[in-house]
Each structure stands twice: as structure tokens, then as C-alpha cells.
């Protein structure tokens, strides 16, 4: 059965978005705050590594992040915008750096969510949630905390996901067309 590239792309994006939302929602239900507070370890962020295999994951991750932030408790409109923007930029850069590998692992790609979420969400926390004028040292602390959570997820679950997809030869299903 042949399907068009557009239909395939929409299906992959929708599946990634649904997985992202379901994982985030399940994590929040089991461990409240672990996927939505300032310092978080959102396991669904491991799915950002799917951008290594297909550009169709980029819109899926972007929409998934937006929907997860909408349904998650405590997310404010500013976070829905800034968090989604950070995820989009990270996803694009993961796709662009996918061929830079160390020992067959896309380590540079795995850094992208930490960089973009650290800077953007760190700034968001400092500007919108910390009282008083902008403090660069405080911003670095906020950015560092966000980045550490992202690094933890992307370098454990994310790279494990990449390795599993490659070892099980599932890549052909992700870039089918």
C-alpha cells in the first residue's frame, strides 16, 4: 500500500505528538510536578531524539509540547509559548546536527534540548517568575537547572532510544518515504 509523503508525514507527526502528550500526562499523574515544574525531568523529551531519523518528528514534537503544556497543571500561557518555541528550535537543530556523532551516537544533537530549553526557559523563569530586576547569576542558575534535567533525559533515555532504533533496524520505518 503506497501512501503519499504528505500523508505519511502527518501520520508520523501526529503519532509523535500523541506519544509526547501521553508520556507527559502519565508522568504527571504518577509523579506530580516532575514533568511540569521549573526543575523537571520530562521523560517525553527523549522523543526529541526522533528528529535524528525523520524531519516529520519536528512538527509532532512541537505540537506535542504545546498540548502537554496546555493539559499540564501549572503551565501558564507564557510557558506554553516559550516552552513550545524552545522545543521547536531544539528539534530543528537536532535534525540539522544528526550526522555529527561520537562513537555512532549523536551527542551534539542530544545537547540541543539542554541548550535551547536552558536558555529560553531559564530566561522565562528569571523574567516572569523571580521577583525583582533581571539578575544574570540567577538566570544562570535557572538555565542550569533546566539544562541539567534536559541533559539527564536526552543522554539517558534519548540516546538509549536512538541506540535501540538503530540496533533493531527500525530506522527504515521512520524514514519510509
Stretch (H or E) spanning 42: none
Q: Tell me: pLDDT of 167 over 90.
A: no
Whether the Cβ atoms of residue 147 and residue 39 lie closer than 8 Å to each other? no
- Cell numbers of 88, please? 521547536
Q: How far apart are CA 130 and CA 139, in angstroms?
A: 9
Strand partners, 18: none
Whether the Cβ atoms of residue 25 and residue 69 lie closer than 8 Å to each other? no
Residues for the chain: how many in total?
A: 177
Stretch (H or E) spanning 157: none
- Cβ neighbors of 144 (< 8 A, separation 6 or more) are 118, 122
Q: Confidence class of residue 40 from pLDDT cuts 50, 70 and 90?
A: confident
- Over residues 18-34, the pLDDT tens digits come to 999 999 999 988 888 77
* Whole-structure pTM value: 0.89
Q: Is 125 helix (H, G, I), strand (E, B) or coil?
A: helix
Q: How far apart are CA 13 and CA 10, in angstroms?
A: 5
- Over residues 88-119, the pLDDT tens digits come to 999 999 999 999 999 889 999 999 999 999 99
Amino acid at each position: 500500500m503506497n501512501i503519499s509523503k504528505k500523508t505519511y508525514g502527518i501520520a508520523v507527526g501526529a503519532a509523535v505528538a500523541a506519544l509526547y502528550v501521553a508520556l507527559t500526562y502519565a508522568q504527571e499523574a504518577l509523579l506530580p510536578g516532575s514533568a511540569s515544574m521549573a526543575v523537571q525531568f520530562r521523560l517525553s523529551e527523549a522523543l526529541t531524539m526522533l528528529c535524528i531519523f525523520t524531519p516529520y518528528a519536528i512538527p509532532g514534537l512541537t505540537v506535542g509540547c504545546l498540548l502537554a503544556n496546555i493539559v499540564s497543571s501549572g503551565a501558564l500561557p507564557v510557558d506554553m509559548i516559550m516552552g513550545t518555541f524552545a522545543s521547536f528550535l531544539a528539534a530543528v537543530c537536532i535534525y540539522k546536527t544528526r550526522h555529527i556523532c561520537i562513537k555512532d551516537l549523536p551527542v551534539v544533537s542530544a545537547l540541543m534540548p539542554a541548550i535551547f530549553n536552558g536558555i529560553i526557559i531559564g530566561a522565562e523563569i528569571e523574567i516572569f517568575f523571580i521577583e525583582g530586576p533581571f539578575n544574570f547569576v540567577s538566570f544562570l542558575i535557572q538555565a542550569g537547572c533546566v539544562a541539567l534535567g534536559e541533559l539527564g533525559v536526552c543522554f539517558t533515555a534519548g540516546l538509549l532510544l536512538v541506540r535501540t532504533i538503530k540496533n533493531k533496524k527500525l530506522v527504515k520505518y521512520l524514514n519510509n518515504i
